[in-house]
Amino acid sequence: MLIVSDDDARLEQREVMPSRDPTYQMWNTGRTVGYETPAFWITEEVANRFLAGTEQTVQSLRHTEEMLGQDEVAVLPTGLDVSLEITGTAHEKMPVRHVIGHLPGTAGRIEGGPSEAQMDDQLIMVLAQYDGTGTDPVGSAYPGANDNASGVAVMLEAIRTLQEQEYAPYRTFLFVAYAGEGSPHGLGYGRQMEVTGFLQAKRGFASAYKLQAVVYLRGLGYGTEPTLELSAGGSQRLIRVFEDAAQKMEVRTQRGAERLDMNVLFDEGSAFDSADEAPNITLSMVGWQETSHRSSDTLESISAERLEAGEALALALMVMGREEY
């Protein structure tokens, strides 16, 4: 998938390639398809070279796009065959180390609910990726201060706040700083992993807990605006908890646009279209991607004001741990 962009910063970014097999057999058709569509950002000039034989340009296609109705897609054959070869080394069975903290809940009473409501078997998982996100074109490692040392820092500060307040949740919490960018548990920014795998860390976790909600933290120390972006995949209940908490802590928020999955668009009803294990929400600062996967993602770019969004996280977790939401 080629994406036309005039964002110089985005055109410079590179992601680590995932280690998983890029193809698999669809269970219902036997057809071999790509596991995930490779995406490349290109300039408008390059795009117009691809379109040279179609009597169309990027500008004319944008006009066509404006005329499309909801859920309509325009298809334009270019008559071109384009190939790309990436040279690299695949490392198999590379060890990754996840750091997991367990805050057990106690059976509690939900306000307005049954007098003996059982809640400690309900699990809330908070995750932040702690390893790096690759190298620049000359091989230097990206500093990764905002993506995602900031997310880990905010998670640790939230944990410290809960401990200082002697907060005793009714529901159980699992805090995870995970590693493995480019592997199935590190899918590049904007991607999410199968979190149930972390329940295998201790015998009995998978059978003892029902996953209630998942909170992802990424890019919380820098943003183009002092606004916390909340992306909850359509879970209105979950997003309202964080909006209410942010309002109380005087943290400005906005709802984020959900990622468009082109695989689902073209293979509706296929194996790509799977349900999440539990409602999930991602917390990031608006515009955090500007320095992600770039050499400018340094400690100097981190703003203490942006990190104060962690106060909203701590309050929201307290609500989720003890109340019906």
Strands (E), 163-313: 172-178, 210-217, 228-231, 253-255, 280-285
Quick: pLDDT tens for 137-164. 677 788 899 999 999 999 999 999 999 9
The single residue listed with the structure tokens 């879970």 is 235
For 115-129, how does the pLDDT look when each residue is reduced to its tens digit (9 = 90+)? 556 788 889 999 999
Which residue did the predictor score with more confidence, 30 or 104? 104
Cβ density class 186-215: b for 16+ within 10 Å, e for less? bbbbeeebebeebbeeeeebeeebebbbbb
Contact 271, 27 (CB under 8 A): yes
What per-residue confidence (pLDDT) applies to 315? 95
Please name the amino acid found at residue 255: R
Overall average pLDDT of the 223-251 stretch: 90
Judge whether residue 58 has pLDDT over 90. Answer: yes
pTM score, whole prediction = 0.74
CB atoms within 10 A of CB 94: 10
* The pLDDT of residue 227 is above 70: yes
| pLDDT > 80? residue 183 | no
Q: Is residue 250's pLDDT more than 80?
A: yes
Higher pLDDT, 262 or 282: 282
For the chain, give the percent of residues with pLDDT over 70.
77
- Pick the residue with more confidence: 281 or 188? 281
Domains of the chain and CATH, by start:
2-67 (no CATH), 99-322 (3.40.630.10)
Q: Which residues contact 121 (CB under 8 A, 6 or more apart)?
A: 172, 208, 209, 210
pLDDT for 269 equals 35
Predicted local confidence at residue 92, as pLDDT: 74
Mean pLDDT of 303-325: 90
Q: Is residue 198 a contact partner of residue 178, using CB atoms and an 8 Å limit?
A: yes
Q: Which of 260 and 194 is assigned the larger pLDDT? A: 194
- Choose the weakest-confidence range: 39-43, 68-72, 303-307: 39-43
